[in-house]
């Protein structure tokens, strides 16, 4: 069985570009020079074929999807682009479903997915809380009866705490995990039903999952790093649901959203959707497998003014999630007519250079915590 690849090796490249893999050069050896120059001339680090994206419109929404498994893995491993529609973030549905069917047929377990680990931890927390409530109820009943001295209460409390610690240790043991991994008869029936729905005529597993990209990610991967098989100008026109002959509100929102996205990507941040935390983006230093996000980003027009309750609401949500709220104000430096002219000519570099990004960190002030 092959060993699991470490995250440092797997996510070695922060973007879907990487330097040439050249051999070591020995300066005093002419043969080494010749081999190094040959490797440099013949090496090629660009994609042989651009990644295909499917773009569909539904009412006022646009969906950008990558369906090829290799392309999905490539975009996730090199920059954490997109979100698996049937997974939490990383598109793991195909691999986990294949392992699930394989383990159910041969009776062997192939490890636990991130979703499975999360489900197990939640179950363990619920069981632990139940045991803790039993202990608290027992102590409360003894106090009501009034038959306890302070020394006896301390002794009983220590005994119950030891029981809770032992219960928590037992939960983390492999025995408990193996019991949780057992597949019941009802689970087997459900798997058989799933087999009939997601297997083709040759019993090959169908890939029902796709990698969904945000509009700003699609522009970034077609303009800044042209690896998608779509023109950024054509995509912007599709995103606005109208032609780009006039400067609409949708166009302005898309441009300032991308200006902020490109700003943070160019400074080395891993930018992901922040919809779970009520923000536009969240920023990771390296990516989701390494640590939690540090900042929530709200992208606003430089002339935008919100009521105080709006700022307070967003700050409260971000503070509860232990994240710092950053208000990213984007200012347009050129006229609408000039931007439209550049956009119609395909001069996107001039378009995005006509926006200026400014940031303000917003923190919630708490009287009890912020005293001198």
State residue 116's pLDDT score. Answer: 62
Residues 207 and 69 sit within 8 Å (Cβ to Cβ):
yes
CATH 3.40.1350.10 fits 244-362, yes or no: yes
Scanning the chain, the segments in alpha helix (DSSP H) are 7-10, 30-42, 69-77, 93-106, 114-145, 150-171, 174-181, 185-198, 215-219, 232-239, 249-266, 308-320, 336-345, 348-353
Residues 200 and 224 sit within 8 Å (Cβ to Cβ):
no
List 94, 258, 323, 329, catalytic entry: 323
Q: Name the residue with tokens 């503070």.
A: 319
Residues 6+ apart with CB under 8 A from 260: 280, 281, 297, 299, 328, 330, 357
Mean pLDDT of the chain: 82
Higher pLDDT, 82 or 105: 82
When mean pLDDT is compared over 16-30, 191-205, 273-287, the highest value belongs to: 273-287
List 284, 306, 350, 356, catalytic entry: 284
Residue closest to 215 by CA, chosen among 62, 356, 12, 109:
62
Instruction: Calculate the CA dihedral of residues 22, 23, 28, 30 and round it to 10 degrees.
Output: -80
The string of pLDDT tens digits covering residues 269-328 is 999 999 999 999 999 999 999 999 999 999 999 988 889 899 989 999 998 899 999 999
Delimiting residues of CATH 3.40.1350.10 domain(s) in the chain: 244-362
Q: Mean pLDDT throughout 5-23?
A: 82
d(CA 108, CA 164): 32
State residue 36's pLDDT score. Answer: 85
State residue 370's pLDDT score. Answer: 66
Predicted model pTM? 0.74
List 189, 292, 306, 356, catalytic entry: 292
Annotated catalytic, 323? yes
Q: Name the residue with tokens 């990209």.
A: 213
Annotated catalytic, 284? yes
d(CA 15, CA 6): 18
Higher pLDDT, 67 or 167: 67
Reported as a pLDDT band with limits 50, 70 and 90, residue 154 is confident
Annotated catalytic, 292? yes
State residue 241's pLDDT score. Answer: 60
Instruction: Tell me if residue 326 falls in helix, strand or coil.
Output: strand
């Amino acid at each position: 069985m092959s060993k699991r690849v470490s995250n440092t090796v797997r996510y070695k490249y922060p973007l879907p570009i990487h330097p040439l893999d050249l051999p070591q050069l020995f300066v005093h050896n002419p043969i080494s020079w010749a081999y190094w120059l040959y490797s440099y001339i013949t090496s090629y680090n660009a994609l042989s074929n651009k990644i295909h994206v499917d773009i569909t419109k539904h009412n006022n929404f646009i969906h950008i999807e990558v369906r090829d498994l290799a392309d999905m893995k490539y975009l996730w491993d090199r920059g954490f682009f997109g979100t698996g529609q049937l997974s939490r973030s990383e598109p793991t549905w195909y691999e986990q479903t294949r392992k699930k069917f394989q383990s159910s047929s041969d009776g062997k377990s192939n490890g636990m997915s991130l979703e499975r680990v999360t489900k197990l931890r939640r179950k363990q927390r619920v069981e632990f809380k139940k045991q803790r409530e039993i202990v608290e109820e027992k102590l409360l009943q003894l106090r009501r009866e009034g038959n306890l001295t302070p020394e006896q209460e301390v002794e009983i409390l220590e005994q119950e705490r030891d029981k809770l610690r032992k219960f928590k240790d037992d939960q983390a043991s492999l025995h408990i995990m193996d019991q949780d991994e057992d597949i019941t008869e009802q689970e087997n029936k459900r798997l058989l039903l799933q087999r009939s729905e997601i297997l083709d005529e040759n019993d090959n597993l169908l890939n029902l999952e796709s990698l969904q990209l945000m509009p700003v990610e699609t522009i970034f991967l077609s303009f800044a790093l042209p690896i998608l098989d779509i023109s950024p100008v054509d995509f912007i026109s599709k995103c606005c649901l109208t032609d780009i002959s006039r400067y609409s509100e949708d166009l302005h929102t898309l441009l300032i959203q991308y200006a902020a996205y490109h700003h943070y990507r160019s400074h080395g941040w891993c930018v992901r959707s922040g919809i779970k935390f009520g923000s536009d983006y969240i920023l990771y230093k390296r990516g989701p497998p390494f640590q939690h996000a540090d900042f929530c980003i709200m992208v606003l027009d430089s002339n935008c003014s919100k009521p105080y309750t709006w700022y307070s609401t967003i700050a409260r949500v971000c503070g509860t999630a232990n994240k710092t709220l950053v208000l990213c104000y984007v200012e347009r430096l050129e006229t609408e007519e000039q931007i439209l002219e550049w956009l119609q000519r395909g001069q996107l570099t001039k378009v995005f250079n006509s926006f200026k990004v400014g940031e303000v960190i917003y923190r919630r002030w708490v009287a009890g915590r912020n005293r001198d």
